[in-house]
Structure 1
Amino acid sequence: MMNLALIEFNQTLLYKFIRFGVVGFSGLAIDFGITYVCKEKLKIHKYVSSSLGFTVATASNYTLNRNWTFEDHAAASITQFSKFFMIALVGLFLSNILIYLLHDKLKWNFYVAKACAIVVISLWNFFANYLYTFSS
């Protein structure tokens, strides 16, 4: 009986992680698109551009993850969004540190550094939101 519950838990967790990944790719497109336009076309500083892309993607990801990934159908609350956004801010801080290290110090391409940071921070975001924001 315990093994069946564990298997079901693992399948549920995997299912949510896959959905989280799909939402993440949509956020990635939003993030990179806004970052590119701001940095390359509008000539806004790279970290400001990256932060703008991140912020818009975070709002989109919150909505999609709340409704689809974690299937939270309770009334939306400012508290829940605040938790999601705080986790995302920690992720942004860590992401900018990684980008700085990879791009400025190791001289990697900016977008490769950003992509690497996104992969690492995605794990942080999923588990923090799974365990804290959407843990009903």
Structure 2
Amino acid sequence: MILQFIKFCVVGGSGVFVDFGVTYACKEWLRVNKYAANSVGFLCAATTNYLLNRVWTFHNEDPDIAGQYLRFLGIALLGLVINTVTIWLLHHKFRANFYAAKLLATGVVTFWNFFMNYFFNF
């Protein structure tokens, strides 16, 4: 499980670049609401993370890719709620920098996503 968690974190690290890049582009260039931009970035990262985790982290060959992807997205969507609430609390209530709050929220959600996928998806 430890090696899988390390791989999950490496995949998640690549997802951070996808997440932050898409969030930044939506928020700063397209002027999308910061919470909506966060959601788009988070979901784009969840999709790339699913593919990488399926193949590399968990070496999963379940033929029900659609069902597994939907479970992964369900877990990610609950993670998105945790992520968004954490960002809102840190940024809005405690006046932390938006991107610092997003980074901390990403750390919190990493544990949620790993254990839920480990036990219920892969």
| Superimposed CA distance per residue, residues 55-94 of structure 1 (whole angstroms, 9 cap, x where no aligned partner) | 1100000000000000002324221111111000000001
Secondary structure at the residue paired with 2:59? Answer: coil
Within the alignment, does 1:35 sit opposite 2:45 as a pair? no
Q: Find the aligned partners of 2:92 and 2:52 in 1 and give their Cα distance.
A: 33
The separation in 2 between residues aligned to 1:40 and 1:46, in whole angstroms, is 9
Q: Deviations over 1:26-76 (max 9, x none)?
A: 000000000001101111100110001011100000000000000002324
Alpha-carbon distance in 2 for matches of 1:74, 1:113: 36
Equivalent residue, structure 1, for 2:99? 111
4+ residue stretches of structure 1 with deviation over 6 A?
none
Structure whose alpha-carbon radius of gyration is higher: 1
The gaps in structure 1 that reach 5 residues or longer are: 1-12
Corresponding residue for residue 2 of structure 2: 14
The aligned counterpart of 2:68 is: 80
- Count of residue correspondences: 122
Q: Percent identity?
A: 47
**Structure 2 residues without counterparts, runs of 5 or longer:** none
Paired position in structure 1 for 2:43: 55
Query: TM-score, structure 1 length as denominator?
Result: 0.88
